[in-house]
Chains A and B, each alone.
Chain A
């Protein structure tokens, strides 16, 4: 903990004449840093002259762990990276493996993946509303958010057995079919949610305190955003139309009709509006996915890659052999490297997979949206008040599990 202070010659901030700086350490244990982030602030009174985020307090060695596990084992690991939207991590991980193997995913599996991903997106944005609001004083919003998020977690639990870390995908499809009654539960959820989002909007959108705290804070132009490499709602709030689901559709997203909300000047208020609108669009996608859910298998028939159904094991010797090979050793991929990406609630979550022909990834690099979104924090908070730093960090919506991996 020796390097608490910002060193001018290292970090490039200047000392102006007689001005007195105060170096303040924000985090890693802090209610508003949304995880274990440390921000070294150089303050002139209440105004921030310089800030430097210090990450690594949650570094878990995911990428090293991936090199040690087969592709099927890696799915469970991938949940824990962006822990607010585990289904999206799952889909990202297996989609990179499927791209490497050039494997077709059956339409029903794609639709189930879409439904789970949109539920995760809703859950993540709800929690974001709750906690970002909590930082700014909206104590009741936290409880509203959790009331809705519990419904989503119930759906997760009904499908996969786990509230959060679903691990529901397998290479080539999803692990299980939807249980009976799940679609009815989903329909009830879709019917209830618009009113609940309206609750939030009525509480916040035209609230003078909310506007005062967020409007004009942390503006980020489109050029700055592109230069900084940010993705997701941060980029769209600056007016850049880039959503992976529209630009490079995956898992059947091209068949669904939804809009991509854009902001205009990239301040915190625009980011809030973009996320709330995204929640409504997610409901639209959910309704369409549910209505057009195709029948058919939920896992590919390619027995070299996906486990055969258990009923077949008593009938076919070949299935038993495939099962044994897959469970003991896993399948081997071709030599090569691919990059596959999905749209997480924070931005573009990418998996760069390098394979050398073994049954495990040789190198699995995760392109985390939160890491890239956190980089411009330094530029964004120069010259703002400390309270605005909280608002800006809240509006960036980063998850430390994603930043540090």
Chain B
């Protein structure tokens, strides 16, 4: 695994990245409302990067298919170029040869970006507790949502995307009825 080089300190994002014209004004009624609008915009149009690895990729294709239509939740297109994507759905088992590639694609995505670990293999190596599979993709990239299943149903993936949208907007992940 000599080729894998992780940054020792995570890249600061958001406010920690330094003042921008938006947050230079500090936290006041104007910026928090602006934040809400920006977050609403970001969450409503999450474009995933194409990162289908194995069997979960087939179910991811099913999620985009006509019956379970992911594009009604904003993910209209899967962008092949990571420079144009916000979300990386790691769908499938990550082998050790693929791990540096995964990290490189993650690094190429511009901020803000999120990661969904789809399926048992991405979340925890699934049934493959052996020499060839990276034991969970969160050893390589920070994961926002884990989706269990082998492979997870398309509805489960849609649920994950919806939960991610809620998180981006700053809402609690589970809607509590008043």
Contact = CB atoms under 8 A, between A and B. Distances in A.
A57 B97 contact: yes
Contact of A146 (B66, B93, B98, B130): B66
A404 B128 CA distance: 14
Interface in B91-107: 92-93, 95, 97-98, 100-101, 105
Interface residues of B, number: 35
A61 B97 CA distance: 12
A30 interface: yes
Contact of A60 (B65, B95, B153): B95
B61 A35 contact: no
B67 A76 contact: no
B54 A143 contact: no
B89 to A, nearest CB: 12
Nearest to B3: A1
A53 to B, nearest CB: 14
B66 A29 contact: no
Given A35-B54, A64-B130, A59 B66 contact: no
A28 B101 contact: yes
A65 B53 contact: no
B98 A57 contact: yes
Nearest to A69: B127
Interface of A is mostly: loop
A29 B55 CA distance: 15
**Interface residue range, chain A:** 35 or more
Interface in A131-147: 131, 142-143, 146-147
Considering residues B51, B100, B131, which has the most beta carbons from chain A within 10 angstroms of its beta carbon?
A: B131
B137 interface: no
Contacts of A100: none
B59 interface: yes
Interface string A48-89: 000000001111110011000000000011001001100000
Given A1-B3, A153-B62, A64 B97 contact: no
A1 B100 contact: yes
Interface string A23-61: 000001111000110000000000000000000111111
Interface in B39-82: 50-55, 57-59, 61-62, 65-67, 78, 80, 82
Contact of B58 (A59, A61, A84, A404): A84
A77 B65 CA distance: 27
Given A36-B53, A64-B131, A146-B61, A58 B95 contact: yes
Contacts of A404: 95
B132 interface: yes
A2 B62 CA distance: 36
A28 B82 CA distance: 13
Contacts of A77: 127
B133 interface: yes
A83 B58 contact: yes
Contact of B55 (A28, A36, A83, A147): A83
A143 B62 CA distance: 9
B148 interface: no
Given A35-B53, A146-B66, A165 B130 contact: no
Considering residues A1, A61, A80, which has the most beta carbons from chain B within 10 angstroms of its beta carbon?
A: A80
Contact of A401 (B51, B54, B133, B150): B54
A278 to B, nearest CB: 20
A29 B105 contact: yes
A60 B151 contact: no
B54 A127 contact: no
B101 A146 contact: no
Interface string B88-125: 00001101011011000100000000000000000000
B133 A61 contact: yes
22 contacts: A1-B100, A28-B98, A29-B50, A29-B105, A30-B80, A36-B53, A57-B97, A58-B92, A60-B130, A61-B133, A65-B127, A83-B58, A127-B58, A127-B61, A142-B65, A146-B65, A146-B66, A149-B65, A163-B153, A164-B58, A165-B150, A401-B55
Given A150-B67, A163-B153, 13 more contacts: A35-B54, A35-B57, A57-B97, A57-B98, A57-B101, A58-B98, A60-B132, A61-B132, A80-B127, A83-B54, A142-B65, A147-B65, A149-B62
Listed from nearest, the 9 A-B pairs whose CB atoms lie closest are A146-B65, A83-B55, A61-B132, A31-B80, A61-B130, A57-B98, A150-B67, A143-B66, A59-B95
Interface of A: 1-2, 28-31, 35-36, 56-61, 64-65, 76-77, 80, 83-84, 127, 131, 142-143, 146-147, 149-150, 153, 163-165, 400-401, 404
